[in-house]
Amino acid sequence: MNFEHWKRIVIKVGSALIAPTNTGCSSEYLLSIANFIKQCRSSGIQVVLVSSGSIAAGAHLFSPNKDSKNTDNIIIKKAMAAAGQAEMMATWDTLFDFPTAQVLLTHADLRKRDRYESIRDTIDTLLEHDILPIVNENDAVTTDKLKVGDNDNLSAMVATAAHADTLVICSDIEGLFTKNPHLHQDAKLVSDVYQIDEDIYAMAGGATSSVGTGGMKTKIEAAEKAISHGIDTYIVNGFKKQTFQAMLAGDNPGTHFFSDKNPMHDGVHWMRHTTRALGELIVGDQYKIGHNEASDLLVADDLLSVNGDFSSGDVVLLRKHNGDKLAKVKTNYSSCLLNFVADSTNQDFSEELDKTQDPIISKQYIALMES
């Protein structure tokens, strides 16, 4: 590992590092991380920080008696996040002698291609001006439908949107172990991973953190997203200053997930790993689809029915009448209009649409289902 080859890294820091006791922020574990960020920047490496901690930082402001029944209540958590986000940003600010910028996102921003690209533009511009972007999920406005849910997966989505080459995820243990090290003394640290498969997920088990929402599983999910975009990913122990000294010395102190030699095309990666299908287009059994082939042009006649409520530009699942899932695709029309098109009594309208308007699905954004 040679950190000097890095050009743009994303470093993810979890709630347990920022607010270890759930009583507001503490810089105890952040100093060595801040120092690492400074060292990277002075070596010419651009850094994006994905920081959790708003809920953990804000929790102590809510009366335990009054709100005790509600600590798992999403409404209270949103209020905690709104209150704690400012404290979290202020804590980071005290550790840096350069400007920082707050970037708050939800999954609704990442799954719209134009907004996803606008996130990239903002991060690019901040970095060009030597400002450190500090990204978090905008928990104050999220709902179950809108959120990413954990900052491990968010950090991978940010790393791909920002075209980073390296993702460092700070954990509370050294990295991925062959078994849960809290339960098995013979558990061994896995230093290098070249492929993420079921065995790797089995090692991660269901281990979770007591503060924050992630666990080893969400870190592996994040690594899988990142490496398939060509991003080298590390899971390291963020609590130990030796971790950061080792990385600056070019050593791997944790688990290194090697990036794919043939990364996915950015658009296909975004479709597969960032978007969620918000509805379904059901097509006739004779309909075929492949990348960039003439048959990709779905015409009104192919469309049998539409499920769900979606807008133009959303991603939907293309499914055959017999149930086979074909692909995730970006639709150019809303469910309302496509329901009208699928209705055979509106054939004149459908023929006109095929002839004169944008195709039903965007040819540029098709992620075929793995068979």
Residue 107 Cβ vs ligand GLU, minimum distance, rounded to whole Å: 12
Nearest 10 degrees: Cα torsion 4, 273, 176, 190: -70
Is 150 a binder of ligand GLU (CB under 6 A)? yes
The 214-233 contact track toward ligand GLU, x by CB under 6 A, reads x-------------------
Q: Which of 24, 53, 133, 230 binds ligand GLU (CB under 6 A)?
A: 53
Q: Which of 46, 91, 106, 151 binds ligand GLU (CB under 6 A)?
A: 151
Binding residues with ligand GLU: total (CB under 6 A):
16
Contact 364, 297 (CB under 8 A): no
Is 175 a binder of ligand GLU (CB under 6 A)? no
The 60-99 contact track toward ligand GLU, x by CB under 6 A, reads ---------------------x------------------
Residue 341 Cβ vs ligand GLU, minimum distance, rounded to whole Å: 40
The 126-145 contact track toward ligand GLU, x by CB under 6 A, reads ----------xx-x------
Nearest to 362 by CA among 113, 111, 119: 113
Tell me the C-alpha distance between 101 and 16, whole Å.
22
| DSSP category for residue 208 | B
Q: Quick one: which segment of 26-34, 47-55, 97-105, 299-307 binds ligand GLU (CB under 6 A)?
A: 47-55
Residue 52 Cβ vs ligand GLU, minimum distance, rounded to whole Å: 4
Half-sphere exposure of 210 (CA within 13 A, CB side): 5
Instruction: Work out the angle between the directed axes of helices 151-161 and 216-227 (0-180°, nearest 10).
Output: 10
Q: What is the DSSP pairing of strand 100-105 with strand 232-237?
A: unpaired
| DSSP category for residue 189 | B
- Toward ligand GLU, which CB reaches closer, 136 or 243? 136
- The rounded Cα 287 to chain-centroid distance in angstroms is 32
Neighbours of 62 (CB within 10 A): 17
- Toward ligand GLU, which CB reaches closer, 239 or 333? 239
Q: Which residue has the tokens 């990364």?
A: 263
Residues of the shown chain interacting with ligand GLU in the complex, contacts defined by CB under 6 A:
14-15, 52-56, 81, 136-137, 139, 150-151, 212-214
